[in-house]
Structure 1
Amino acid sequence: MTELKYLYGKPLAEAVFKAEPEDFIVNEILGFEPEPNAAGQHHWLYIQKTGMNTEFLARKLADFANVQPREVSFSGLKDRHAVTQQWFSVELPAKTEVNWSHFEEPGALILKQVRSGRKLRRGTHQANEFSILLRSVTEPDLVNQRLSLIAQGVPNYFGPQRFGHEGRNIDKAKAMFAGRRVKDRNLRSLLLSAARSWLFNQIVDARLAAFGLEPVAGDAMQLQGSHSFFLADTIDDTVRARLAEGDIAITAPLPGRKKKARDEIERSEKASEAERFEASVLEPYQAWLDGLIRAGVEQHRRTLMLRPVDFEWNWEGEHLRLHFRLEAGAFATSVLRELVQLKESSGAHFIE
C-alpha cells in the first residue's frame, strides 16, 4: 500500500509502540448511562480486557450465558494488544438470572453491570480516551516541536488496522468487486467497510497534496458537535474564521449509494470545485463505486481533519506518555503517525 501524505512531513523520530499491553490503554465513553430496568432482558457489562480482541470476549460471554454469539452486542471494536475498557450487552429471556461474578476469563474483568430494557447497538459510543506510552523515543527535540502542531489536528485517515494484516482486505475487496463471490456475510461487510475507508483515505491524501488545509468552493462543511452539514458555495473570511475556531470542519465522502432526497445536501446542477475534485480522485475506482452501490452501502461524509481533545503529554525519561480523547471512529494511530515512526519492540516498522 502506498504511503499517505503527512500533514507536517514524515517524522524523523522513532519510537517503540505497544511493547506491553499496558502501553496502549483505551477507555470507551458512551456519552450516556444505560437505563436501569430490573426486569430488562439486556445485561450491560463494562469490562476491562487485556490482550484479547472484542469479538473473542463477546464469544466467551455468549458461552458463559449459554446464548448464541449474536445475542452479545458491543458498540465498537477495540485493539487486542492493549488494555481496554468497553461496554457489552447480553440479551437473555426476561426471567433469566445470571451471576456474572462467576464469569472467569484470563485478562477480562467485569467492572460494572446494569440490567436494562435496551440493547447496546454498534457505533453508539461517543468517544474513546487514550493513554499511550511510546518507548525509547529518538530525537526528543523534534518530537517536542511536533507535539504542539499535532494538538491542532492531523489528517483523519482510517488506520492500517481497518485494512487487515498487510492491507490484505483491500486485495480481497478488489477481487470481490471484480466478481469473486464472498459468501460469508460478516467478511463481506468487513471488505465493503475496508474498501470505502480506503477510498476516503485516497481523497484526503489527494486533497492535502492539492490544497493543503485550504477550503474550496462547494465544500460540505460539518457543524461542530453534530452531523449537520451545509455547502460553502463561496469561501470567504467568515468561513476561514469558523474553520480556524473549529466551529465547522471540511468533510470528504465515504462513497456509497446516495441517501433519500430529504437527507442529501442540496447541490446545484453545476458541479462545484469540490465535487469535481472528489470525482476526479474516485474516477479510477468506478468498479468499486458500483460494487458499493449494489451492496446498498449508503454514502456518508467524514471530517477531513481530526483534532485530539484534551491532548496532553509528559516525558518519562526517554519514554513519552500521551493522553487524549478522539471521537468514535477515529484512529489513535493517525495521531501517532504524524509524531514518530512507530516500531514494534522487535524493531520492525509498525506503520509504513
Structure 2
Amino acid sequence: MEEIPRYLPSGQGQHVFVTIEKRGIPTYVAMRNFARALNINSRDVGCAGLKDAHAVTRQTLSLNLVNPDDVRALELPNIKILSVERHHNKLKTGHLAGNRFVIRVRDVNQSALPVAQAVIERLTQHGVPNFFGQQRFGYRHNTDKLGEALVRNDPVRFVAEYLGEPQPHEARHIFAARKLVDERRWEEALEAWPNELPDEKQAIAAILAANGELSAVFQPVNKKMKSLFVSAFQSRLFNALLAQRMEMDLLGVLQTGDVAYLHGKGAAFLVTDPAAEQPRADSFEISPSGPLFGPKTLRAQGEPGRREDAVLAASGLAAEDFTVAGLKIRGARRPYRFQIKQPNIWWDDGLMVSFELQPGAYATTVMAEIMKPDR
C-alpha cells in the first residue's frame, strides 16, 4: 500500500516530511518511535491517515522542528526511511488524495481470475460497501469498546478493555500483566508491565498514584488516542446500519429521508424526491450515507431516520452523549459505498489485484467482496 499525496513538500518550512516504508507495526507505533528517537512531543508528529499493521505500507509523517539530517540518520525497527524533505505545515488527517494498493492472493486456482474480474467490474460500476475494516478496531479488536467506555464515562469498563482481560493470542508476559490488573494488584502489574506498551503503563501508574481510583485511567491517555477510540465506536454503529442497508439491497438506492453524500465535495443534503435524485446516484455523483454519531450530525428522516434512531437507542445513548471532555467530536456523514479507481487484475504466481481508493476506504472490504466463498 502506498499513499497518494494531496501535495508534495515544498523544500522549505519548519516541518520535516519523512516518507517511510513500515512492516508489521501500526502507524501510531511508528509515530511514537520517531517522537522518542528525536526527543520531541508526540503532538509534533503528524500523519495523513493510519495504515494497517500487517501490510507493507508506504506513507509520509511530518516532524516539527527537527533537523533533517537527524531524521536521515535514524535506524528504527521495522521502518525504512525513503525520503526526507521540509514543508511549511503539519500533516493532518485528510491531507491525502487516496491510497494505491497492490495485493497478491496466494493459494487460489487460476480459474478464479475471470470470476474476480467480473466482481471488480461490478464493484467499479455499483460501488463497494463502505464498511470500516477490522483494523479500525485494533489488534485486540476492542477500540470500539474503549470508545464506548469513554462516551459512557465508565472507568471500570475502560480499565478492563485497556489494561485487563488478557486474550489468548497475546504474549505470555502481557497476558500475565493483564491478569494482575484484573486482580487489582497495581504495584505488581506496574512492575510486570512490558515497556513495549508504555501508554498503558502510564495509565497503571496513574491509577496506582491515585490509590487505586479507576477514574485516574483517563488522564494519561492522550487526546489523539481518545479520539481514535471514540471514532471506532462511531464506526461500529455505522457498520451496523450499513449491514442493514445491504440486507435490504439498498446500497446505492436512495429513499425518502436519506441524507445523500456528494462525492468530491463532502457535502450532504436531505433527499425529499428520491426518483429525481436517483440518476445522480446511478452516475456515482451522490450516494446514500450513514451517520458517525455526534451532537452536530445531520440526521436522516423517514424510514432511514427510524433505522438510525433504532441503532442509537439500542446502544442506550443519545447523539449528545458523544460530547467527551477535551475532544472536539461533532459527528459527520459517511457514504455507504465508495468507488474503485484504476482497477487491474491479472495472474502472476497468484491472483494480483491493484486499485486506488479514496481516503478512509478499506482495501480489505474490496478483497472481502472479491474473495467471498460463494463466488
Task: Assess same fold via TM > 0.5.
Answer: yes
> Runs of 5+ in structure 2 lacking a partner?
159-217
Query: Which structure is richer in relative contact order (CA contacts within 8 A, separation 6 or more)?
Result: 1
CA deviations 1:20-52 (Å, max 9, x no partner) are xxxxxx111121122332xx2211111222333
Which residue does 2:135 correspond to in 1? Answer: 161
Which residue does 1:129 correspond to in 2? Answer: 100
Which residue does 2:231 correspond to in 1? Answer: 193
> Runs of 5+ in structure 1 lacking a partner?
1-25, 343-352
TM-score with structure 1 setting the length: 0.77
Matched position secondary structure for 1:221: strand
Matched position secondary structure for 1:123: coil
Change (3 A) 1:43 1:303: same
Shift of 1:335: 0.8
Alpha-carbon distance in 1 for matches of 2:84, 2:140: 38
CA deviations 1:142-198 (Å, max 9, x no partner) are 444423222232210000111234632334444445542251245433321111000
Matched, 1:110 2:84: no
Greater share of helix: 2
Alpha-carbon distance in 2 for matches of 1:145, 1:211: 19
Change (3 A) 1:144 1:54: same
Matched, 1:299 2:331: yes
1:83-232 correspondence to structure 2 within 5 Å: 83-92=56-65, 98-138=69-109, 140=112, 142-152=115-125, 153-165=127-139, 167-181=141-155, 182=158, 183=218, 184-185=221-222, 186-213=224-251, 214-232=253-271
Alpha-carbon distance in 2 for matches of 1:101, 1:327: 30
Alpha-carbon distance in 2 for matches of 1:33, 1:227: 23
Alpha-carbon distance in 2 for matches of 1:160, 1:168: 10
Change (3 A) 1:136 1:64: same
TM-score with structure 2 setting the length: 0.73
Change (3 A) 1:107 1:285: closer
Q: Is the 8 A contact 1:58 1:69 kept in 2?
A: yes
Paired positions, count: 303
1:35 alignment partner AA: S
Matched position secondary structure for 2:11: coil
Shift of 1:282: 2.6
How large is the Cα RMSD of the aligned pairs?
Answer: 2.6
Shift of 1:210: 2.8
Give the one of 235, 242, 246 matched to 2:274: 235
Shift of 1:331: 0.7
Change (3 A) 1:175 1:72: closer
Alpha-carbon distance in 2 for matches of 1:100, 1:164: 28
Which residue does 1:54 correspond to in 2? Answer: 27
Alpha-carbon distance in 2 for matches of 1:101, 1:165: 30
1:190 alignment partner AA: L
Change (3 A) 1:211 1:118: same
Which residue does 2:215 correspond to in 1? Answer: none
Matched position secondary structure for 1:286: coil
Q: Is the 8 A contact 1:174 1:288 kept in 2?
A: no
Q: Is the 8 A contact 2:143 2:229 kept in 1?
A: yes
Matched, 1:42 2:80: no
Shift of 1:199: 0.4
Q: Is the 8 A contact 2:132 2:235 kept in 1?
A: yes
Matched position secondary structure for 1:167: coil
Q: Is the 8 A contact 1:150 1:339 kept in 2?
A: no
Shift of 1:290: 4.8
Q: Is the 8 A contact 1:206 1:281 kept in 2?
A: no
Q: Is the 8 A contact 1:127 1:325 kept in 2?
A: yes
Change (3 A) 1:87 1:314: same
